[in-house]
Amino acid sequence: MISKSWGRNLFNTGDNKPSSLTVEERSLLYGQDAKECPSNNKDLTFVFSQSRQLDLIELEQLLYSVGWSRRPLRRVKRALDHSMLKVGLWIHDSRFPRLVGFARCTGDDVIEATVWDVAIHPFYQNSGLGKQLMAYILQNLREKRISRVTLFADPGVVDFYKSQGWTLEPKGNRCAFWYST
Ligand SMILES: CC(C)(COP(=O)(O)OP(=O)(O)OC[C@H]1O[C@@H](n2cnc3c(N)ncnc32)[C@H](O)[C@@H]1OP(=O)(O)O)[C@@H](O)C(=O)NCCC(=O)NCCS
Instruction: Specify whether the CB–CB gap between 101 and 117 falls below 8 A.
Output: no
Give the count of domains, the chain. 1
Q: Does residue 124 have an active-site annotation? A: no
Determine, yes or no, domain membership for 58.
yes
User: Looking at ligand 1, which residue's alpha carbon is closest to its atom 41?
Assistant: 66
Q: At what angle do helices 56-65 and 73-81 cross, to 10 degrees?
A: 100
Percent of the chain with pLDDT over 70: 85
Determine, yes or no, domain membership for 168.
no
Q: Using only the alpha carbons of the chain, give its radius of gyration.
A: 16
Determine, yes or no, domain membership for 72.
yes
Domain CATH number, residue 71: 3.40.630.30
The answer, yes or no, to whether residue 180 has pLDDT greater than 90, is no
pLDDT digits (tens, 9 = 90+) for 123-169: 999 999 999 999 999 999 999 999 999 998 888 999 999 999 988 77
* Interval between CA 24 and ligand 1 midpoint (Å): 32
Probe ligand 1: pick from 160, 162, 163, 178, max atoms within 8 Å of CB?
A: 160
Q: Domain residues for 64?
A: 23-145
- pLDDT score at 42: 86
Task: Report the atom number in ligand 1 closest to the C-alpha of 121.
Answer: 39
Q: How far apart are CA 4 and CA 131, in angstroms?
A: 15
The pTM assigned to this predicted structure is 0.89
For 87, the 3-state DSSP assignment is strand
For 147, the 3-state DSSP assignment is coil
The values of phi and psi at residue 99, to 5°, are: -80, 120
Determine, yes or no, domain membership for 107.
yes
Determine, yes or no, domain membership for 117.
yes
Determine, yes or no, domain membership for 153.
no
- Which of 131, 112, 116 lies closest to 179, judged by CA? 112
